Structure 1
Amino acid sequence: MQRRARKSATITATVAGVTALGLAAVLTGCGLASGSDDVTLRLVAADYGDSGANSSKKYWDRLVAAYEKDHPGVTVDVSVYSWNDVDAKVKAMVDAGDAPDMAQIGAYADYAADDLLYKAGEVLSIPVEADFVPQLARAGQVRGLQYGMPFASSTRLLFYNKTLFARAGISAPTTWAELAKDARALKKDGVKYPYALPLGPEEAQAETLQWLLSGRGGYTQTVSSYSFDSAENVETLDWLKTDLVGKGLTGPVAPGRLNRATAFAAFAAGDVGMLNGHPSLMKTAAAKGVEFGMVPMPGRDGPSKTSLGVADWMTAFKRGGHGDEIGDFLDFVYSERNVLDFSHEYDLLPVTTSASLVMGTAKEDADLKPFLAELPLSESYPVGRTSWAKVSAQIKKRIGQAVTANGSPADVLGDLQTTATTLESAAGE
């Protein structure tokens, strides 16, 4: 590995330095004592907190302080931005020729395609690189090489309001037909959103993929190309349009205008019977006194065999030439304790196998175990394709139209397929 080669070269130089200059000079030159060779690493990170009290800035401040205490030659300068801004901030830095050493963001493929990133194996130690959850490690690959290092992950489950279900005399669904039957009973009982279907621009790509997977489809059913217009996908959206939206079972806001945050807030307010949710919804709903249950996403004939898995990514930029220092810091970041601390702080799933095994047996993590169980069965967005960011933007813009009264799932999916194929060809994929 390149990182090991650089360290070997450093050792050789160190031996020569000992002969010529003596031990004190070598220590200074290696950055183990203060001097001109001290290194400052710049990290740009996303904020997972929902208030100043749990801002990610506080998490990074604690972690960096612990690291710097044992690494006096290295300073880590962390800038934290909201998810609305962080990707654009990093892009602006890269475009200006001033890429950070590390960026914890939502996508990596464009930077990898432009040869701006270290491969994971060039910076991480072998045990840390091998510890990533396999599904997430594969999702971090571009053309078979891992550039994206998973940093946070989550899966989706169907949340349902136990109080509303008991009042309507129904139980949690396992199939689409049961979901529709439950939604009809909830609507009859006056529930505002029997099933909340957020296909608005905030995160339509997630809700859409969750449904397509439950119908045995997806965005990339083949290895080589997108598959938006597959028969399975068309059938899934046809069912949504006809059996849920068309029957008035998705609430007063058109799915194409309903965002995830609004749907989550409505669930916490007791106005939603069912919706797809990730782990953070548990805390939000519990804080409002909502009694809820969680089950795997219903499928056509039974519980879906595949769940949506979402990951955010750590990237290491080559511009500063600090591969060894980046690797040492990231080895610390991905230690079992630090991965668990982050996961607990923000109700997310660990991205390493070692931390996942600990969480899976810990009594205090019982509420996260159902999500953890879905991770080996999950499918991620095709983030390794450089076209994905633009394709995702088109999904957010168009997919809500497919389930309107005058919309055509086949036409919308066909248009998305044409757009995706064009973008894929332009990206040279």
Structure 2
Amino acid sequence: MQRRQRRRTGTIAAGSALGLTAVLGGCGLTGGSEDVTLKLVAAEYGDSAANSSQKYWSRVADSYESNHSGVKVDVTVYSWNDVDRKVKELVDAGQAPDMAQIGSYADYAAKNLLYQADDLLSISTQADFASQLATAGRVKDVQYGMPFAASTRLLFYNKGLFSKAGLTPPQTWKDLAADAAALKAEGVSYPYALPLGPEEAQAETMQWLLSGGGGYTDSFGTYGLDSTENVATFTWLKDELVDKGLTGPVAPGKLNRAAAFSAFADGDVGMLNGHPSLMKMAKKGGVDYGMVRMPGHNGPSKYSMGVADWMTAFKQNGHARQVGEFLDFVYSEENVLDFSREYDLLPVTNSASEAMSVGERDAGLKPFLDALPQSETYPVGRTSWAEVAAAVKKHIGEAVAPGSDPARVLGGLESTATKADSRS
């Protein structure tokens, strides 16, 4: 049979914000020996044509197809601004892809549109996932979201600015406020950059909530945005940083993460929370930087915020066996390492993490790798999270605005979360 020409299309834009035989024992798995074209929609992690995700996926697909006759992999890449919307449009039109590498999965799982990981992956592949990421991919103890890329956050500081002010990296909130005051006295534009703008406010918020002993949910998994700990955290932020003019010329509610990162790379920021991609930006800008764990009340925070992006597999086309075999290949140590190194992200498998932790070429990522086991992710297994995250992005900046009451703002967000949860 003539080999069909693979069609690959995609847009190039800046990204976010990471084989064994599949188990065949599940009920109702379909797929025979006839030619199959698997359609994959993926997100763009590159920042230029040279390192486009399209190139990565083309290499993976070509390598897989060379050893699997009769299977084609058709990959379409969209920017992070578009990929979740594009997949939703395809699903709503009854044209779901076989696989989608996107930012969430819970809504599709709730509608019974996704294969369970057990239906697809070999036992070896499933066992290789970092345990906390695999757990984060579950809905009611069933894994639907397969982690694909991960990152954690650390506190970056400008070594040159710290040296000039005679400072050492902070370990507590009190240290951070004192360092920020000293940096302000030296004329630093953003002593501590606090990006609570609509781009990614949910990330900065979660990092601070964790450092204050709280979080989006309590130990039972129930939303608790207005907990005593969370209110105390934002009250401290407002009183000790924002009201004292230590967060820079742009109001936190108007400052986006991308702008804060750019300001750090320009040498205008003393401290901010950052993920691995900030290392490359800082080096390109000639900024000598250091990284430490996020300060807490009495010492470095025990927990870091972790973020994962997800691979999902839709049932509509019935290609469970072929999808499973392809994903086993995608999650091989070699491929996970290639992706993580290309885009400065953390591997989602134990085997790749172990290789990276001892690799000299990966030394810059080791502090993030070390933080990953103690990281906590967003409550992405809840179908209400998308609505809650949108509300946080829109309103959390109000909690530190002049004359505001953090308890009132957090109480409003908790009300939104409770109502969203009741509808899910």
Residue 97 of structure 1 is matched in structure 2 by 94
Are 1:80 and 2:77 matched, yes or no? yes
Residue 24 of structure 1 is matched in structure 2 by none
Q: CA deviation at 1:38?
A: 0.2
Q: CA deviation at 1:76?
A: 0.4
Residue 424 of structure 1 is matched in structure 2 by 421
Are 1:210 and 2:230 matched, yes or no? no
Match of 1:415 among 408, 412, 420: 412
Q: CA deviation at 1:291?
A: 0.1
Equivalent positions of 1:103-252 (< 5 A) are 103-252=100-249
Q: Which amino acid aligns with 1:385?
A: R
Q: CA deviation at 1:222?
A: 3.1
Q: CA deviation at 1:5?
A: 2.4
Q: Residue 159 of structure 1 aligns to a residue in which SS? A: strand
Residue 5 of structure 1 is matched in structure 2 by 25
Q: Residue 24 of structure 2 aligns to a residue in which SS? A: helix
Q: Residue 64 of structure 1 aligns to a residue in which SS? A: helix
Structure 1 residues 386 and 8: CA distance shift in structure 2, 3 A: closer
Are 1:370 and 2:367 matched, yes or no? yes
Equivalent positions of 1:224-303 (< 5 A) are 224-303=221-300
Structure 1 residues 289 and 224: CA distance shift in structure 2, 3 A: closer
Conserved in 2, the CA contact under 8 Å of 1:3 and 1:323? no
Conserved in 1, the CA contact under 8 Å of 2:26 and 2:119? no
Query: CA offsets per residue over residues 10-40 of structure 1, 9 Å max, x none?
Result: 9xxxxxxxxxxxxxxxxxx953xxxxx2000
Q: Residue 167 of structure 2 aligns to a residue in which SS? A: coil
Q: Residue 212 of structure 1 aligns to a residue in which SS? A: helix
Conserved in 2, the CA contact under 8 Å of 1:339 and 1:355? yes
Are 1:402 and 2:399 matched, yes or no? yes
Q: CA deviation at 1:4?
A: 1.7
Q: Residue 5 of structure 1 aligns to a residue in which SS? A: coil
Q: Residue 4 of structure 1 aligns to a residue in which SS? A: coil
- Per the normalisation by structure 1, the TM-score is 0.92
Q: CA deviation at 1:423?
A: 0.4
2: CA distance, partners of 1:299 / 1:191: 23
How many residues align structurally? 404
Q: Which amino acid aligns with 1:189?
A: E
Residue 338 of structure 2 is matched in structure 1 by 341
Q: Residue 310 of structure 2 aligns to a residue in which SS? A: strand
Query: Quick one: percent identity of the two aligned structures?
Result: 67
Q: CA deviation at 1:223?
A: 2.0
Q: CA deviation at 1:221?
A: 1.4
2: CA distance, partners of 1:30 / 1:229: 53
Q: Which amino acid aligns with 1:5?
A: G
Conserved in 2, the CA contact under 8 Å of 1:7 and 1:324? no
Q: CA deviation at 1:288?
A: 1.1
Q: CA deviation at 1:7?
A: 9.8
Are 1:318 and 2:315 matched, yes or no? yes
Structure 1 residues 147 and 8: CA distance shift in structure 2, 3 A: closer
Query: CA offsets per residue over residues 216-240 of structure 1, 9 Å max, x none?
Result: 0000113241010100000000000
2: CA distance, partners of 1:98 / 1:401: 41
Match of 2:60 among 63, 69, 73: 63
Conserved in 1, the CA contact under 8 Å of 2:29 and 2:320? no
Q: Which amino acid aligns with 2:249?
A: P
Residue 44 of structure 1 is matched in structure 2 by 41
Q: Which amino acid aligns with 1:387?
A: S
2: CA distance, partners of 1:415 / 1:7: 45
Q: CA deviation at 1:406?
A: 1.6
2: CA distance, partners of 1:8 / 1:78: 26
Higher helix share: 1
Conserved in 1, the CA contact under 8 Å of 2:155 and 2:293? yes
Q: CA deviation at 1:52?
A: 1.1
Q: Residue 252 of structure 1 aligns to a residue in which SS? A: coil
2: CA distance, partners of 1:309 / 1:7: 34
Structure 1 residues 73 and 162: CA distance shift in structure 2, 3 A: same
Conserved in 1, the CA contact under 8 Å of 2:57 and 2:75? yes
Q: Which amino acid aligns with 1:45?
A: A
List runs of 5+ in structure 1 lacking aligned partners.
11-28, 32-36
Are 1:353 and 2:373 matched, yes or no? no
